[in-house]
Structure 1
């Protein structure tokens, strides 16, 4: 297992990750990219702890996702199944598990301070931290995706299912976008990844 992890994680994080996987008896599955989530955790009926993480060529996103999911397992085991999935117990557990990884041997200088800041009060998804999400994106392979917050108002864009939208307004923290086929408006999180179309 440790040899496999070197393909997905920052090199100096592998021994600690392998220890967490072993100690918590995690059955880790690396799966094809899912649009709605980077990873998930579930406890099977036979008691096995199954964690899936999206295949990613970005080792830093992979690491944060893996520790996020292990934190669910550890928090549920420690505090019981009735806790909120991203409540205070999970946040505390995620912080505690992540602190040993916030080191210059693991994260490059451009990410290190942003990761440290994020983990003062971690969110349900690193994607909701716009600054961190944008910094992480720099380590993704080249693609034609943009975040909704980056594109100009009035621009049209396509999402993963082929639907085409026009960005029209900002509503508090989310962007109001018009679906061109139906004429309905939808709200997008700032860090939704979309394909910008030429206008």
Structure 2
């Protein structure tokens, strides 16, 4: 297992992650990309702890996703199955598990202050922290032809991953208000949502 992890994790995080996986009896599956999530955790009918993580994540995002999912497992085991999935118990557990990894041997220097800020109050997804998400994205292996919502001019049309088409109309606090062209319904998008800009 540690040989497999070397392909996906920063070098100095491999042994600690391997120990966490062993200690918590995790069955880890590295899977093809899912657009809606980076990873997930569930306990199956036989009582096995199953964690999946997307194979296409860069090594820093892979590490954060793996620890995020192990934190679900540990929080449920410690506090019971009825806690909120991303409530205070999970946040405390995620912080405690993640802090030992937030050091220059593991993460590049430019990410360390962003991670320190993020883990003061971790969110359900690092994608909702636009600054951290953009900083992590620069380490992705492949460039893609997608744009971020915040880069698009107001009034432009764009397509999201499932083919639905929207028009960007306004900024509301931190998120962008966009109208779906086929229904006229208003949706709010994170500034770092990746979309395909359509020709005007």
Q: Given the two structures, how large is their TM-score scaled by the length of structure 1? A: 0.95
Structure 1 Cα separation of the partners of residues 128 and 186 of structure 2: 21
| Counterpart in the other structure of 1:176 | 177
| Counterpart in the other structure of 1:95 | 95
Gaps of 5+ in 1: none
1:152 aligns to 2:147 (yes or no): no
Superposition deviation, residue 189 in structure 1: 2.5
CA separation of 1:121/1:82 partners in 2, compared to 1, >3 Å: closer, same or farther?
Answer: same
1:143 aligns to 2:134 (yes or no): no
**Aligned positions of 1:1-199 closer than 5 A:** 1-140=1-140, 141-199=142-200
Moved over 6 A (4+): none
Tell me the secondary structure at the aligned position of residue 109 of structure 1: coil
Q: Given the two structures, how large is their TM-score scaled by the length of structure 2? A: 0.95
Residues 12-44 of structure 1 deviation map (CA, whole Å, 9 limit, x = unaligned): 110000000010000011111111111110011
Paired residues of 2:130 and 2:190 also in contact (CA < 8 A): no
Tell me the secondary structure at the aligned position of residue 97 of structure 1: helix
Residues 102-129 of structure 1 deviation map (CA, whole Å, 9 limit, x = unaligned): 0101101111111111111111110111
Q: Which moved more, 1:121-130 or 1:176-185?
A: 176-185
Tell me the secondary structure at the aligned position of residue 131 of structure 2: helix
Structure 1 Cα separation of the partners of residues 114 and 21 of structure 2: 26
Gaps of 5+ in 2: none
Structure 2 Cα separation of the partners of residues 196 and 87 of structure 1: 36
Paired residues of 2:153 and 2:168 also in contact (CA < 8 A): yes
Residues 48-90 of structure 1 deviation map (CA, whole Å, 9 limit, x = unaligned): 0000111124111111000000000000001111111111110
Structure 1 Cα separation of the partners of residues 112 and 45 of structure 2: 39
- Matched residues, number: 199
Structure 1 Cα separation of the partners of residues 120 and 38 of structure 2: 21
